[in-house]
């Protein structure tokens, strides 16, 4: 993905394309592409995977897991100081998924001091 347009295309494929195309984009991406950020917000592919439309929660989780397994950091903050998990919770995604699924991602990357957002404001997970 040499040009800016092509580079940015993978972000929107991960967010908007059918699951298999998004999965394929991640699998074909180089380490450099996986580590890149979308401008101007400085968001990684994890932000875009977490932002998949409501109703695609299992797909979003699978893509997030693939990205984390590929080395994309869970605790990367964008220009607003927010992580992908913040935006997932903000979009009510966490309420529609089992909190434990997101908690597994958090524990797996050993993010110190991070609490799964639904456990803070909602009933216990």
Q: d(Cα 45, Cα 33) in Å, to the nearest integer?
A: 9
pLDDT class of 123 with cuts at 50, 70, 90: very low
pLDDT value at residue 99? 54
Of residues 95 and 79, the one with the higher pLDDT is 79
Measured CA to CA, the distance from residue 18 to residue 16 in angstroms comes to: 7
Name the pTM for this structure: 0.72
Distance CA 101, CA 61 (A): 8
Q: What is the pLDDT of residue 55?
A: 77
pLDDT band, residue 81 (cuts 50/70/90):
very high
Q: What is the pLDDT of residues 7-61, one digit of tens each?
A: 688 999 999 999 999 999 999 999 999 999 998 899 999 999 988 887 787 888 8
The C-alpha atoms of residue 36 and residue 71 are separated, in whole angstroms, by 12
pLDDT at 107: 54
Please state, as a whole number, how many other Cβ atoms lie within 10 Å of the Cβ of residue 20.
Answer: 9
Domains assigned to the chain: 4-121 (1.25.40)
Alpha-carbon distance of 111 to 34, in angstroms, equals: 20
Separation between Cα atoms, residue 104 and residue 102, nearest integer Å? 5
Compute the average pLDDT of residues 66-77.
91
């Amino acid at each position: 993905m040499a040009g800016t347009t092509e580079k940015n295309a993978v972000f929107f494929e991960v967010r908007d394309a059918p699951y298999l195309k998004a999965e394929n984009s991640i699998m074909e991406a180089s380490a450099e592409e996986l580590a890149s950020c979308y401008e101007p917000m400085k968001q990684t592919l994890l932000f875009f995977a977490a932002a998949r439309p409501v109703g695609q929660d299992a797909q979003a989780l699978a893509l997030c897991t693939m990205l984390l397994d590929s080395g994309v950091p869970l605790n990367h903050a964008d220009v607003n100081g927010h992580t992908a998990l913040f935006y997932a919770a903000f979009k009510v995604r966490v309420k529609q998924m089992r909190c434990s699924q997101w908690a597994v991602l958090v524990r797996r990357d050993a993010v110190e001091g991070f609490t799964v957002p639904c456990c803070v404001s909602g009933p216990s997970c």
